[in-house]
Amino acid sequence: MTPEIEPVRTYLLDLQDRICAALEAEDGSARFREDAWERPGGGGGRTRVLADGAIIEQGGVNFSHVHGPGLPASATAHRPELAGRSFEALGVSLVIHPRNPYVPTSHMNVRYLQAEKPGAETVWWFGGGFDLTPYYGFEEDCVHWHRTAKAGCDPFGPDLYARFKKWCDDYFFLKHRGEPRGIGGLFFDDYNESGFAHAFGFMRSVGDHYLRAYLPIVQRRKHMPYGERERDFQLYRRGRYVEFNLVYDRGTLFGLQSGGRTESILMSLPPLVKWRYDWRPAPGTPEARLYDVFLQPRDWLATG
């Protein structure tokens, strides 16, 4: 099967619709605001943001489909042979920042890119994944998240979960802090194994497994009581999320360097955040347990 953009676009638009409907139903009080936008260099998208909900303090679910005569530097840095090719890139990207500190932040992204040059074969690949960032960890949540991630991978190859789990652990790592962003999940890029139909099916499976992974965790934790202490720690830890997205995240860099819509790109940032100079949690506290137990590389499937 040769690469076809239209079925990918159709799937991604439907995925955005399904995820937004499910999150609105879970929140129960707020709805997504939609902004359709056009990119001056070619293409556009639709941004949906839910703010001040009962469960979701702020969340964004973006669809974009952009094209242009040349790839930005962030895309050609590790694939220099693609410099000078025209491109089309489309995807759905989301970040959900819940209000309750016991509900983790989640991120998901699935995307497709193809690059072309006259007289040369089309280069194409899929990428994406999902990862979880708890503030207060629960082992059953982490096991469920990773079991669901593995279930999304298994029909497409027995080695995919282990490969992309490790890639996720390595990618979502704040080098300047020496710590991971969360408890991981899946991350893959430049994926075109076994042909277009197989690779597209795998990308769809990852997208379809996000709600199965996240909603049961939200439902378990959303009514847990919390106070100022938990809220303060949540806002402090959100600072790590901001640092990663602005310093390392490929999607953020690609969007900004390709002339994407800034408001849509930065919708991944939390609405409230704190930084505190050289702060460390007291030993033996629930906050210290996040660092000591959950922000460590682990085989969560063995835990369960």
pLDDT at 39: 85
Whole-number CA gyration radius for the chain: 19
Is 78 labelled as part of a ligand binding site? no
Separation of alpha carbons 185 and 195, rounded Å: 24
56, part of any domain: yes
Report the alpha-carbon distance of residue 108 to residue 278 in Å, rounded: 30
Give 78-92 pLDDT, tens digit per residue.
Answer: 777 777 788 899 999
Q: Looking at the domain assignment, is residue 104 inside a domain?
A: yes
Range of lowest pLDDT (89-98, 119-128, 180-189, 275-284): 119-128
Residue 14, domain extent: 5-294
Q: In this model, does residue 77 exceed pLDDT 90?
A: no
* Domain assignment of residue 67, yes or no: yes
DSSP annotation of 122 reads P
What mean pLDDT comes out for the span 207-215?
98
62 is in an annotated binding site: no
- Give the per-residue pLDDT at 1: 62
Whether residue 61 has pLDDT greater than 90: yes
Q: Write the CA distances from 270 to 9, 33, 219, 243, 295, integer angstroms.
A: 28, 17, 21, 11, 20
Q: How many domains does the chain have?
A: 1
Q: Which among 110-124, 158-172, 254-268 has the top mean pLDDT?
A: 158-172
| 107 marked as part of a ligand binding site | yes
Beta carbons within 10 angstroms of residue 219's beta carbon: 12
Top pLDDT among 253 and 183 is at 183
Report the distance separating Cα 280 and Cα 213, nearest Å: 31
Q: Is residue 299 part of a domain?
A: no
The reply, when asked if residue 264 is annotated as ligand binding, is no
Whether residue 146 is annotated as binding a ligand: the answer is yes
Using pLDDT thresholds of 50, 70 and 90, give the confidence band for residue 54.
very high
Decide if 107 is catalytic.
yes
Please state the rounded mean pLDDT for residues 260-281. 87
pLDDT band (50, 70, 90) for residue 74: low
Residues 6+ apart with CB under 8 A from 1: 195, 196, 197
What integer is the mean pLDDT of 187-201?
A: 95
Is residue 304 a part of any domain in this protein? Answer: no
b/e 3-22 (16+ beta carbons within 10 angstroms → b): beeeebeebbeebbeebbee
Per the domain annotation, does 302 fall within a domain? no
Which CATH number fits the domain that encloses residue 220?
3.40.1500.10
Q: How far apart are CA 63 and CA 109, in angstroms?
A: 10
Q: Residue 129 domain-assigned?
A: yes
Residue 16 inside a domain? The answer is yes
Q: Which of 107, 144, 198, 209 is flagged as catalytic?
A: 107
